[in-house]
Amino acid sequence: MVRAHTPLALLLATTIANAVDVPAQAQVIDQKNFNVLGDVPPPTVANSTTVFIPPGTTKESLFEKPFHIYDEEFLDIIGANPTLTLLNSSGTNPRFHEAAVWVPSTDDFFFVQNAGDPAAGTGLNKSAVIQKISLSQVTAEVAAERNASGKVDVHLVPATPAIINPNGGTNYKNRILFAGEGQGSRVAPALYVMSTNAPYNATVILDNYFGRQFNSINDVAINPRTGEIYFTDTTYGYVQDFRPETVIQKQVWRFNETTGAVAVAADGFNMPNGITFSHDGKHAYVTDTGVIQGFFGRNSSFPSSIYRYDVEEDGTFSSRKTFAFIAAGVPDGVHVDTKGNVYAGCGDGMHVFNPSGKLLGKIWIGSTVANFQFAGKGRMVILAETELYYATLKAEGAFPGQLY
């Protein structure tokens, strides 16, 4: 198969002198073209709710070639022939939200519905559900298509007992570790582990801190050096009307399942959300999505940022640094590849940064990407709330298997 390429001279922020091949589904975005707009829209028009369309482009042209190159380094991430395939659309029901987990042994990919979204009717009276697809079916039948909506089977995963309002998820000891947001004042937020095969047996492993409930546990990650569980606790359950008002400080927590010890890892957040560790475990990345306040609207004075911490050998966090600020929406789910590059789901798609925080490129969807995950070398599944995407690229996720 002959790949179509467009030779262009990449004159980006790093001023690249040599001509390179730009893949067929990619395009160069030169930030110098919009450093000065002249007529900058007022904040009522351009704000965290809007998607920026660079001069000389349209929403259609940006999606036609969705791999946007902001820096030459992005070419090594996407490779010679990256592709993006729409697998499913769900109308207004946000079925494709978070807890993106790939299980290598079965090649199944798990994810959950959005809890607290009015279009789904989930949250207080009905729990969000867990679902999965077979990536073997994807690669065998539809990977070469741009639009394969409805051609891939989406299966309901009925955990036993039910996992209430699951949100975050990760591989853990050959099972899946879920962060449950809770429901009302009686069903406490909790960490659950679930088997990856039917009947999907589930067990609660943590649901309190010295007798006090958490707010609504959002995301979860495993420290690759110690095997300890880290999770973010925020108040999205409250601002989406299915949990009580703030019951404990919004923080990043640390849990050692072996000893039972629970401790605070970091505080000082408005809405701590996504969390992950660097490929070598020496850094942690935490997103703060305070701009979004659920039914209370948005507040642009609050963070829309990714923070980086040093992780000491004993697992404690230190040296907080602002890693990136996101203009379009907020940085929700966050993950890393084997080379330390950082990927974040944002309001216009996925943003990719090098380990220093330089924007390298985007996988442009044109709407919110809540989460995503690598599925082995060169494969990725992207959860865009009402749309489910499959991408192929050169990069490989840092944690491809079962952690500890």
What string of pLDDT tens digits covers the 404 residues of the chain? 434 444 443 445 334 334 468 999 999 999 999 999 999 999 999 999 999 999 999 999 999 999 999 999 999 999 999 999 999 999 999 999 999 999 999 999 999 999 999 999 999 999 999 999 999 999 999 988 999 998 999 999 999 999 999 999 999 999 999 999 999 999 999 999 999 999 999 999 999 999 999 999 999 999 999 999 999 999 999 999 999 999 999 999 999 999 999 999 999 999 999 999 999 999 999 999 999 999 999 999 999 999 999 999 999 999 999 999 999 999 999 999 999 999 999 999 999 999 999 999 999 999 999 999 999 999 999 999 999 999 999 999 998 665 54
CA distance 173 to 171: 7
Rg (the chain; Cα; Å): 20
Per-domain boundaries in the chain:
82-342+374-392
C-beta atoms surrounding 349 within 10 Å = 29
Q: Give the Cα separation of 110 and 198 in Å (integer).
A: 13
Largest CA distance in the chain: 62
Domain 82-342+374-392 annotated CATH 2.120.10.30: yes
First to last CA, the chain: 40
Exposed, middle or buried by CB within 10 Å (0-12, 13-18, 19+), for 218? buried
CA separation for the pair 253, 249 (Å, rounded): 11
Distance CA 403, CA 244 (A): 33
Q: 3-class SS at 33?
A: helix
Q: What is the pTM of this model?
A: 0.94
**Alpha helices (runs of H) in 79-143, residue ranges in sequence order:** 135-141
